[in-house]
Amino acid sequence: MDWQVLGLERCLADRDPWHAATIRFPGLRVLANDLSLNEQGAPARVEAKLLRVLRQHVADWPSFSALRLLNASTRTLA
Q: What are phi and psi of 42, to 5 degrees?
A: -65, 135
Q: How many CA atoms lie within 13 A of 73 on its CB side?
A: 9
Does 16 or 3 have the greater pLDDT score? Answer: 16
For 15-74, the pLDDT digits (tens) are 999 999 999 999 999 999 988 887 666 888 999 999 999 999 999 988 887 666 556 655
54 and 21 Cβ atoms separated by less than 8 Å: yes
- Is 70 exceeded by the pLDDT of residue 76? no
In this prediction the pTM is: 0.76
pLDDT of residue 48: 93
